[in-house]
Amino acid sequence: MAQRLLKEHRDLQKEAKKSNPDILLSPVDSNLFRWAGSVAGPEGTPYEGGRFSLEVKVPSSYPLTAPNFRLLTKIFHPNVHPKTGEICIDILKNAWSPAWTLQSTCRAIIILLSHPEPDSPLNCDAGNLLRQGDHRGFRSVATMYTAIHATRKGEASRT
């Protein structure tokens, strides 16, 4: 397991060397069981221009067991719990496979940001807006959250 996580760390370091990486992830204090990082908000979504911080806890049974991913940045999304940052995505629950890596899981989270699933919401307000067809209202609130919580401008206005 340690070998696998070290290889994943090397792959993530290569990703981080890109001019504008969409995924940044590394172990906290060289602890391969605790990772921190961020994902970029996907283009064409209310999350565009934002960076969303992640916390990852890797179980000792990894890769046979899914890691625990949590968003630390406040976000308005039907599949992210507004208080805990828990992410509702099938690969972190019943559809986990050892073929998934920390990086590919981050990519799946980015895809989830682009394609919310309002029928299994952890944030009922966001889910209800989408289920009722109020895409404009959802986009407006999600864009506001991104501006306030996930951008440098928002960080500057809070200080």
Known active-site residue 88: yes
* pLDDT mean across residues, the chain: 93
Please report, rounded to a whole number, the percentage of residues in the chain having pLDDT higher than 70: 96
Residues 109, 132: Cα–Cα separation, whole Å: 24
| Number of structural domains in the chain | 1
The reply to whether the predicted model has a pTM over 0.85 is: yes
Catalytic-role residue among 1, 88, 141, 148: 88
Looking at residue 154, its pLDDT comes to: 57
Give the structural domain span for 98.
2-158
Residues 73, 120: Cα–Cα separation, whole Å: 21
Q: What is the CATH number of the domain that holds 87?
A: 3.10.110.10
Q: What is the DSSP string of 77-124?
A: -TTB-TTT-BB--GGGTTT--TT--HHHHHHHHHHHHHS--TTS-SSH
